[in-house]
Amino acid sequence: MRTRVIGREARYVATGGRRVVVIDDDPSIREVAALALTAVGGHEVHTAGDGAEGLEVARRVRPDAILLDVMMPVHDGPAVLGRLRALPELRDVPVVFLTAKVGTKDISRLDGVGAVAVITKPFDPLGLAGELAAVLGWDA
Amino acid sequence: MTGSPDESTDGWDDALRVLAGRAHMRNRVRAQRIAELLSAPWERDTAVREEAARLCHTVAGSAATFGEPGLAEAGLLLETALREGRDHDVMPALDVLRSRAGGARSPEA
């Protein structure tokens, strides 16, 4: 695995797999998700710390999927998803929410916003790539 | 770092350990920030309450992911107290959070 750090964005390059953008305001979650998705999933991972940066990264790298935190300052996950859907080049990119908020009211709010699925925190780093593959229908 | 979890996990475990240490330190800083926010009059300040609750949420998610369930629980309890308006529970919950976030990370059972 090669790692290049470009500004605040870390790019983890593996030997194959899909291209995934991870958007989360917690650097620890970005780090462990990127490690898990490259080391276990073999994916190329780009990370971003907020919605604005995430949109910029996604427009540039054209990912196969976006893992998006729900609770972020300024623009939360659903708001970022709305912006993604307004961009023709990103409209069809599958988005999976990543969140610790999984009460009934929270799920109701996330339902119908347009994400493919919700992965809850805490997640098992060893299992994240498999979970993502399962919800997106990728070969694990 | 190789791609198969069936191969030696030493590198993987070491990497996770490093990330867990960083996460703990970040949560410690968040706990300090939460305490700062709640040291001034906060009960009627919606913005402060929301920022404190959001930080608690981050602590809870991060701590749970990196194997600190006690700290995660403390974050969740304080977040819930703030969001549900249970103001009398906030300071005791903050004390617990600071206690569990402070100091070097110790493995939890």
Residue reference for tokens 């907020």: A50
Q: Is the pLDDT of residue B107 over 90?
A: no
Mean pLDDT of chain B: 87
Tell me: pLDDT of A7 over 50.
no
With beta carbons less than 8 A apart as the criterion, state whether B25 and A26 touch.
Answer: no
Using an 8 Å Cβ cutoff, are A33 and A22 in contact?
yes
pLDDT score at A132: 93
Please report the ipTM that was assigned to this predicted complex. Answer: 0.78
**In whole angstroms, how far apart are CA A28 and each of A68, A93, A105, A123, A125?**
14, 24, 27, 13, 12
Instruction: Name the minimum distance, in Å, from the CA of A45 to any CA of chain B.
Output: 14
Q: Do A125 and B3 lie within an 8 Å CB cutoff?
A: no
Q: What is the pLDDT of residues A51-72, one digit of tens each?
A: 999 999 999 999 999 999 998 8
**In the predicted model, is pLDDT for residue A107 greater than 80?**
no
**Closest to A65 in 3D by CA, of A23, A15, A24, A35:** A23
pLDDT (average), residues A68-90: 92
Above 90 in pLDDT, residue A91?
A: yes
Regarding predicted confidence, which is higher, B30 or B13?
B30
CA B26 – CA B95 distance, rounded (Å): 18
Look at residue A106 in the predicted model and tell me its pLDDT: 67
Tell me the nearest-neighbour CA distance from A89 into chain B, angstroms: 30
Q: Is the pLDDT of residue A9 over 80?
A: no
Query: In terms of pLDDT, which residue wins out, B41 or A108?
Result: B41
Indicate the pLDDT class of residue B88, thresholds 50, 70 and 90. very high
Please indicate whether, in this complex, the C-beta atoms of B65 and A28 are within 8 angstroms of each other: yes
**CB-closest option in A14, A71, A123 to B65:** A123
Query: In chain A, which residues touch B (CB < 8 A)?
Result: 1, 14-15, 25-29, 31-32, 35, 38-40, 42, 71, 73, 99-101, 121-123, 125-126
Residues B7-36 have a mean pLDDT of: 89
Convert the pLDDT of each residue in A123-137 to its tens digit: 999 899 999 999 998
Say which amino acid occupies B65: T
Percentage of residues in chain A having pLDDT higher than 90:
60
